[in-house]
Structures are given as structure tokens and as C-alpha cells.
Chains A and B, each alone.
Chain A
Amino acid sequence: MATAHHADHPTGFSRWLFTTNHKDIGTLYLVFAFIMAVVGGLMSLVIRAELWQPGLQMVDPHFFNQMTTVHALVMIFGFAMPGFVGLANWQIPMMIGAPDMALPRMNNWSFWILPFAAILLILGLFMPGGGPAAGWTLYPPLSAQGGIGTDFTLLSIHLLGMSSILGSINIIATILNMRAPGMTLMKMPMFVWTWLITAFLLIAAMPVLAGAVTMLITDRHFGTSFFDAAGGGDPVLWQHVFWFFGHPEVYILVLPAFGVFSQIIPTFARKTLFGYDSMVYATASIAFLSFIVWAHHMYTVGMPMAGELFFMYATMLIAVPTGVKVFNWISTMWRGSMTFETPMLWAIGGVFTFTIGGLSGLMLAITPVDFQYHDTYFVVAHFHYVIFGASVFGLFAAVYYWIPKWTGHMYNETLGKWHFWLTMIGFTITFFPQHFLGLAGMPRRIPDYALQFTEFNQWSTVGAFMTIAAQFLFFYLAIRCMKGGSKATDKVWEGTDGLEWTLSSPPPYHSFTVAPKVK
């Protein structure tokens, strides 16, 4: 019976619609993430084109606000999160020696919620009065003023959250129950570890966001006043609840990228990871701390002194485990025998940009000076250094690292290097000057600015167009790699170590139907 079922391979559209195969679903997630990255990237170009010079040239301020809002939502919920879930789907079963995810039908469902959620989110822009324009943080009372587009967004966030929670349950069930005999928790690859911790973060954080969003919906339509001072509510309550989700969310985006770096750097340094145990503990500490630092996003709301101090100290503490991770990566490279294929470039680039973002994060943690940085371009520079610099670089690193395994073909190394360097340089031109803009006093989320900010904004705009243009190279490279190219070996890279590299390239549709033994 089972064999008969497994032999059934629908083709065409129904293969993708009904699939319960982790590899197919992983591919769906990755393709979806890429499409959303294009959509979000084009929105960022609208923003940057408007900011090319002072005055209004491209779009009116209301539409500009919709672009900043939807760009962020699309990139976070549509690109970065599904991208990493795609990697988890492809890699976790192959890395722990499991035949598939623990809950394959739910896996199908958690993916197929996403396209509908995304359509709802984008459709909001075409509603009367436009889409959400209150920033991705959706602070009331401003978000209470939005039209029906805002309701589309709120429902879309509910759906995206459901998808993430289902995906996380699946990942936890898979990792805890389906490891090959002999693979104890402390023998798991770092990517699996970081995803296990990330999945717990998601399960703890997403329902909190769902609660906040529900309260906002009832405030908007059912006469409650959770966030309306005139009805006895408190607008700042939203911020507390939102950031209780929002700060762990930052680590949800970045921890799997840390896992990717921890796989790639040992491979190309031809050494084992310097401190495996301390990396696991550091990841867990970061995850724990992420739940007790949320109010550092809100230093200017007027908290009591005890709160300001507690959140400052707790936030600064995150620098310790984060430092442990960076030092570990560098010690792994130290006295290795390094080569610099494209995945290694992305990983080193990611560690580099992430560390800059981490250091500016430390500056932002310090309450008194944050009063000057808060809501300026310094913050915009900071979070792009961590989210683009770590998460997106991590995604690209992972795709280059594993795409030969997935497709059975090597990608074009020259094109890959061009893609990396153009992105790295474009990224730096875009976001490095934004530090200066913020320090000099340019607030974020403005469509027009005072004359002294012109030059650095022009750098930023040039960099943004360059960065987005470079992604077409990646698209071309990925398609070419899927269609053909030189044959990849099973091991793919000289320094690889792990169960996925014992499979053929590409792996069979159903891999590890017999569990491997791990020594």
C-alpha cells in the first residue's frame, strides 16, 4: 500500500498544489520568497526614487507611507521568514536523516496559506483610501485612521502568523522525533539547532502578535478602546504587546542565518566549528534575552526610570552571547585552509555586515543617546545591516551552498561572485551613509527632507538601484543552475561534513527511507 502511494507522482500544477514532499514544499517556499523579494524590492525603489532629491517628484506622501509600510511587511513576512522556512523544509530532514517532515499534510497547508495572505496584503494597496500607511509597526491611533486596506493587512498578518506557527510546530516535531539513530541533540548540525530555537521563538511570539492585531481589529470595528485613551485605553499598550512579538521576531529572522554561517564557515575553512557547545548555549541565551528587551524600541514613550534602566542593561547584555558567536566564527576561520567560493563570500560578508549592525545596535541600546538616534535614519541603517546584512546574506549563502545538492548542477561561480560583490557594494552605498543621515538629524519615514540631507540620500538611492539590479543576475544564475550546468558531486564541496552530503546530487525524491546510522 505504502509503496503504491509513494509511486504516485502527480505532474504539472497538481504536483505543486497537493504535494506533501518536503523538497517540493521547500522549493515552493523559496520561489514564493523570491517573488515577494522582487515585489518588496520594487517598493523600496519607489521609496528611494522619491528620496533622490528634496521636494516631491514621484508619489504623494500618503502613497509613500504605504510603500514604507508594505515594503517592510512584504520583506519580513513574505521574503525573509518564508525563505528560511523553505531552507528548513529542504535541509532539516536531509540533515537529521529523516525521510520527510513529521507532518507532511500540514506542511502543504502552511505553505498554501501564504499566497493568499500575500494577495490580501498587496490587494490592500488598491482599496479605496489605499493600503496601510501607519508603518509596519501599525501604531494606533494612526493605524485606526486607515481605511479598509488596513483591515486587509491585519487579516493578512493573521494568516501569515498561522502559517508560521504551523510551520514551526512541524519543524519542532520533526527535529525532536525524527532524528536518525545516534544523532543526539548535541550532535545536530548548527543549522538544525538554530531552527529548533527559532521555531520555539515563533510559537511564543506569533500568538502575541495575533492578540494585538485582534485587539486592533475590535478597536476599529467593534467599539472597544484597548488603544484609545478617550475610551480608557492606552496607545502605548499596543507598542508593548507589538514589541513583545517584534523583538523576538528580529532573532527569528537572524538565528537561522547564524546557523547557515555556522555550516558554511567550517566547510570552507576545512576545520570543525571552534566551539559547538558554546554556540548552542549562545543561541539559546540570545533567544531567552530576546523576550526581556522589547521596550528598547520605546525609550521615548515616557517609561519610568526603572524600566528605562532595566531595558538598557538587558539589551546591552545581548552583546555578550552575540560576541561569542562572532568570535567563534573567526576562530573557526583562524589557521584554517580557506577557499572563497560564493557561499563563503556571502557568509563572511554576512558576518561582517551583521557585526556592524550589532555594534550600532549596542549604541541604540544605550537609553540616553538613543533619544538622539530614535526614529532617525540611524535606526534604518542599523536594522538593514542586521536584517539585510545577516538574514538576506544568510539566505543567499545557503542557496549557493546547497543549490548544487538540490539541482545536481554546479552554479556559475563567476556569476555568483559578481552577484555577491555587486550586492555587497550596492548594499554598503545604500545603507552606510544612512548612519550619517540619522546622526545629523534626518527622521525616518519622511517623503521629503531638508536640503542638508541631499547628498547622502543620493548615494543611498544609487546604491538601492544597484542592489536590486544585481538580483537579476541571481535570478538568471538560479534558472541556469536548475536547467543544467556541470554535474555536482555528492559531496559538492571539499570540506563538507553531514548527512545531506551522503545523498546523491540531486537527492532522490524520497531520501533516507531507511534511517542512516550516526556515530
Chain B
Amino acid sequence: MFMTFVKRLPGNVSRLILGLSLWLTVPAAFAEYGLNFQKPVTSIGHKLLELHNMILIICVVIFVIVFGFMFYSIFAHRKSRGHKAAQFHENTTLEVVWTVIPFVILVSMALPSTATLLEMDDTSKSDLTVKITGYQWKWKYDYPDQDIGYFSSLTTPPEQVGSPRFSKEGFKPGADKNKEYLLEVDNPMVLPIGKKVRFLVTANDVIHAWWVPQLGVKKDAIPGFINEMWTRIDEPGLYRGQCAELCGKDHGYMPIVVNAVSPEDFTKWVAMQKDKAAAESAGGARTWSKDELMEKGKKVYASSCAACHGANGEGMGPFPKMTGSTIANGPLADHMNIVMNGKAGTAMQAFAAQLSDTDIAAVVTFERNGFGNKAGDVVQPSQVKALRK
């Protein structure tokens, strides 16, 4: 009766009322309303949810008892009801009691927490290792034992994000959004289910944090240092997360997608990735036409450069524009140098480590001939290869 009434209220109100009542009744039902953790799919994830629910319930009970006293007092001990102040103070017994009881409660919380923490820390006996590297603003996943490595970046089209009122381009409202808006990527991390996966987490430029709520893992990715964590996924599926540590302008636009598949499908996927890598390196050996380079360069620009330098080369804030750029219109060697080696002290990264010879050749060609720039040069993959040390 009550529930049907509540469900007919406007969405926000009914969700809040249902959510609050659920908080006190059925912890397992939270997930559906987006009020508690997302559904865990690892044993650690389940333990974290249980631990969280236990602590939350203890806190709610303490809150209700303590404020039960306060609100009773506010109701009963008011001057307007003629209550006279009882002048009592200091009571050692009471003060010892309310020091000891919280302490005991804390110990009861600390014990299971310590056990879970120790389990989370044990990365030994893993079946697979994946190295995660944070970049501004995408992730790189390397499988050292399988000899696979690739970047994973956002695929939500910029038209869906839109352009804000206070920007150079002026207000363009975002188009209708995909269901997985901002949580979709080109190349998800693929993991086999039922296997213990050890993650090595690091970063290339600034600190990021790799977080997939349903796996129950989060670790900072710190340049120059390698952190470890592990997971074992129980069921196949797509699990989504985001960078959790502020990492600059597009911090909100570097999602994580994990595709958990059966071990057989994982083996097939590994073979496919290897074929793809072979085809890519074959492309680096031949000579490309200017049109081919321009076409490929446009794609590379969109995925690697547009975030800072603007989709149309217009730049933004501290990030220089492409149109009329002194570098894109200046000597080729300088242009190659800044693209391949980055610029220290700025967000301009060393793309030599991120892009293939073909990609770099294409994007430099595109920058020198697109956006109204008229340098006219064409760069071949072999030239890039020669510049690599």
C-alpha cells in the first residue's frame, strides 16, 4: 500500500523515500536504486560490500541511539514545557562507560577490516599479469607474458558532451547521449574469468587512479613507481569505472572498461591481438601517399591531440592552437621533436612511446597540412623510425 503510493510520486522523491527505508531494512536491495555500492563480481568486492554494510548499520544504530537521547531531551526538557534545569555535572562512571563502549565497538570493526585488508594485499600466485599505465587522458594496458599492449580511450562522441556557454565556440548543447555516456572505450581491458589477475599500476605523466567499483579495486597510478593489486572475476560481463585521481583537464573523460570473458575466449582474443600487431608493423615498412597519411592523421589527431588542441585545432586555455602554429609551420625537425619527446613541465607528452611510426608520420603530416597550415611536407613512417633511438 505504502510502496505503491510512494512509487507514484515523482521519480526523485520516490527513490529517496524508498532508498531511505531500504537503508534500514534490506541492505541487499540498495544496488537497484543506485544508493549503495554497485553489484560486486569478485570475492573481495563481496567482502567489501559486507564490511561496508556492517559498518554503515553500526553507524546508523549509534546515530539513532545518540540522537534519540538528544531529540527526546529537546522535546521534553524545554523551558516552554516548564522543565526546570537539574544542576548535575561530572560523573566518572558514566564517562568511563562512554569511553570504553566506543572503544569496544571500534575493535569489533577493526578485526574483520584487518583480515580483508591482508587478503587484498596478497598478490602472490597470480595466473596473469596486466600492467596498467595512466596517461593524460587515457589508459594503456600491457600484457607482458602475452606480448600485447594497447591504449584504451573514451569513445563518447564530443557532440554528446556539447560545448559550454563560456567557451570560444559558444554554447552547443550536447546531443542525445548513449546509455554508457562517458563510460565507453575503444579497446576495453580483456580478462579471463576465474583467474587471479595481478595488476601493476603506474603512470606516464601525473598521478591517476585505476578504479572499477564492481571489482573492488582502486589504486593510484604514480609516475616512477609501480603499485600492485589483484582481482579474480567470477562472472563474464562488461565492468565500467573511471579515473579516480584528479589528473588535469580531461580527468572526467578517461573511463575504464573491463571485458571479462571465458578463458577460451581470452586465448582467442590474445591470438587476434597478435595478428593485428603484425599487420600494424607491416604498414610501417611501406611508403604512404599524402592522402593516406592525411586520412590516418585526422583519426590519430582526434584520439590523441584533440582533447587539448581542440577538435578543429582551436586550442584551449594553456593549450596552443594548431591553426597558424609556429611549430606546425616551422622546421620539420622541431615539430617531430615536440610530438615525439613532449615538452617538459607541460601536459604535452612524449608521443614516441604511445604512437606507432605510422601514426606519428600521419599526424605530423596532418598537422602541417590541415587547419589551414601550409608547411607542405609529407612525413613517412621510415623517417620516424630513424628518429627513434
A binds B: yes
**Count of residues in A whose CB is under 8 Å from the partner chain:** 106
Q: Is B69 in contact with chain A by the CB < 8 A criterion?
A: yes
Interface-side segment among B55-63, B140-148, B277-285: B55-63
Q: Is B161 in contact with chain A by the CB < 8 A criterion?
A: yes
Contact A335–B219 (Cβ < 8 Å): no
Contact A65–B15 (Cβ < 8 Å): no
A374–B106 Cα distance when bound, in Å, is 20
**In residues 257-314 of chain A, which contact B (Cβ within 8 Å)?**
269-278, 300-302, 305, 308-309, 312-313
Contact B63–A355 (Cβ < 8 Å): yes
Q: Which residues of A contact B209 (CB under 8 A)?
A: 300, 374-375
Q: How far is the CB of B86 from chain A (nearest CB, A)?
A: 4
Contact A337–B102 (Cβ < 8 Å): no
Q: Is A320 in contact with chain B by the CB < 8 A criterion?
A: yes
A459–B19 Cα distance when bound, in Å, is 15
Contact B12–A459 (Cβ < 8 Å): yes
Partner of A301 from B87, B106, B180, B220 at Cβ < 8 Å: B220
Q: How far is the CB of B250 from chain A (nearest CB, A)?
A: 6
Contact A445–B246 (Cβ < 8 Å): yes
Q: Which residues of B contact A56 (CB under 8 A)?
A: 161-164, 167, 174
Contact flag A446-B252 (CB < 8 Å), given A305-B118, A366-B109, A372-B52: yes
- Encoded as 1 (CB less than 8 Å from any A CB) or 0, chain B from 210 to 222 comes to 0101001111101
Interface-side segment among A100-108, A322-330, A416-424: A322-330
Partner of B36 from A141, A228, A439 at Cβ < 8 Å: A439
Interface-side segment among A126-134, A160-168, A402-410: A126-134
Partner of B164 from A59, A277, A331, A334 at Cβ < 8 Å: A59
Q: How far is the CB of B106 from chain A (nearest CB, A)?
A: 5
Contact B73–A335 (Cβ < 8 Å): yes
Interface-side segment among B237-245, B265-273, B329-337: B237-245
Q: Is A518 in contact with chain B by the CB < 8 A criterion?
A: no
Measured as residues with beta carbon below 8 angstroms from the partner, the interface class of chain B is 35 or more
Q: Which residues of A contact B91 (CB under 8 A)?
A: 274-275
A456–B284 Cα distance when bound, in Å, is 50
Q: How far is the CB of A4 from chain B (nearest CB, A)?
A: 48
Contact B244–A376 (Cβ < 8 Å): yes
Partner of B318 from A128, A371, A455 at Cβ < 8 Å: A128
Partner of A274 from B67, B90, B183, B227 at Cβ < 8 Å: B90
A-side interface mostly: helix
Q: Which residues of A contact B252 (CB under 8 A)?
A: 61, 443, 445-449
Q: Which residues of B contact A444 (CB under 8 A)?
A: 246
Contact B89–A272 (Cβ < 8 Å): yes
Q: Which residues of A contact B63 (CB under 8 A)?
A: 355-356, 359
Contact B77–A335 (Cβ < 8 Å): yes
Partner of A302 from B19, B99, B228 at Cβ < 8 Å: B228
Closest to A369 in B: B52
Q: Which residues of B contact A330 (CB under 8 A)?
A: 66, 69-70, 73
Contact flag A449-B79 (CB < 8 Å), given A330-B73, A355-B67: no
A59–B66 Cα distance when bound, in Å, is 43
Q: Is A468 in contact with chain B by the CB < 8 A criterion?
A: no
Contact A362–B207 (Cβ < 8 Å): no
Interface-side segment among A196-204, A229-237, A389-397, A503-511: A229-237
Q: Which residues of A contact B207 (CB under 8 A)?
A: 139, 141-142, 235
Contact B162–A55 (Cβ < 8 Å): yes
**In residues 67-124 of chain B, which contact A (Cβ within 8 Å)?**
67, 69-70, 73-74, 77-80, 83-91, 94-95, 98-99, 102-103, 106, 109-110, 113-114, 116-118, 120-121
A456–B228 Cα distance when bound, in Å, is 34
Q: Which residues of A contact B116 (CB under 8 A)?
A: 368
Contact A60–B167 (Cβ < 8 Å): yes
Q: How far is the CB of B257 from chain A (nearest CB, A)?
A: 12
Contact A135–B250 (Cβ < 8 Å): no
Q: Which residues of A contact B106 (CB under 8 A)?
A: 316-317, 319-320
A355–B71 Cα distance when bound, in Å, is 14
Q: Which residues of B contact A28 (CB under 8 A)?
A: none
Q: Is A208 in contact with chain B by the CB < 8 A criterion?
A: no
Contact flag A337-B70 (CB < 8 Å), given A60-B167, A142-B248, A436-B34: no
Contact flag A337-B78 (CB < 8 Å), given A326-B66, A363-B56: yes
Q: Which residues of B contact A448 (CB under 8 A)?
A: 161, 182, 252-253
Q: Could you say which of A145, A275, A340, A351 has the most chain B C-beta atoms within 10 Å of its C-beta?
A: A145
A339–B216 Cα distance when bound, in Å, is 49
Q: Is A250 in contact with chain B by the CB < 8 A criterion?
A: no
Contact flag A55-B220 (CB < 8 Å), given A145-B346, A368-B51, A443-B242: no
Partner of B211 from A236, A340, A443, A445 at Cβ < 8 Å: A443
**In residues 223-271 of chain B, which contact A (Cβ within 8 Å)?**
223-225, 227-228, 241-253
A359–B56 Cα distance when bound, in Å, is 9
Q: How far is the CB of A272 from chain B (nearest CB, A)?
A: 5
Q: Which residues of A contact B179 (CB under 8 A)?
A: 451
Q: How far is the CB of A489 from chain B (nearest CB, A)?
A: 18
Contact A335–B174 (Cβ < 8 Å): no
Q: Is A54 in contact with chain B by the CB < 8 A criterion?
A: yes
Contact B164–A50 (Cβ < 8 Å): yes
Contact B88–A236 (Cβ < 8 Å): no
Contact A372–B346 (Cβ < 8 Å): no
A433–B13 Cα distance when bound, in Å, is 12
Closest to A127 in B: B318
- Encoded as 1 (CB less than 8 Å from any B CB) or 0, chain A from 72 to 114 comes to 0000000000000000000000000000000000000000000
Q: Is A336 in contact with chain B by the CB < 8 A criterion?
A: yes
Contact B110–A55 (Cβ < 8 Å): no
Contact flag A129-B55 (CB < 8 Å), given A312-B110, A334-B69, A436-B19: no
- Encoded as 1 (CB less than 8 Å from any A CB) or 0, chain B from 39 to 53 comes to 000000001100110
Q: Could you say which of B181, B211, B252 has the most chain A C-beta atoms within 10 Å of its C-beta?
A: B252
Contact flag A455-B249 (CB < 8 Å), given A271-B89, A363-B55, A368-B120: no
Contact flag A54-B174 (CB < 8 Å), given A63-B166, A450-B180: yes
A55–B172 Cα distance when bound, in Å, is 10
Q: Is A440 in contact with chain B by the CB < 8 A criterion?
A: yes
Instruction: Please name 20 pairs of A and B residues whose Cβ atoms are closer than 8 Å in the assembled complex, sorted by A.
Output: A56-B167, A58-B164, A59-B165, A59-B167, A61-B252, A229-B225, A269-B77, A275-B89, A320-B106, A330-B73, A334-B69, A334-B77, A338-B73, A355-B63, A356-B63, A359-B62, A366-B55, A372-B218, A441-B37, A455-B11
Residues of B participating in the A interface, judged by any CB pair closer than 8 Å: 11-12, 15-16, 19, 34-38, 47-48, 51-52, 55-56, 59, 62-63, 66-67, 69-70, 73-74, 77-80, 83-91, 94-95, 98-99, 102-103, 106, 109-110, 113-114, 116-118, 120-121, 160-167, 171, 173-174, 177, 179-183, 201, 205-207, 209, 211, 213, 216-220, 222-225, 227-228, 241-253, 316-318, 345-347
Residues of A participating in the B interface, judged by any CB pair closer than 8 Å: 50, 54-63, 65, 128-130, 133-135, 139, 141-142, 144-145, 147, 220, 228-230, 234-236, 269-278, 300-302, 305, 308-309, 312-313, 316-317, 319-320, 323-324, 326-327, 330-340, 348, 351-352, 355-356, 359-360, 362-363, 366-369, 371-372, 374-376, 433, 436, 439-441, 443-453, 455-456, 458-459
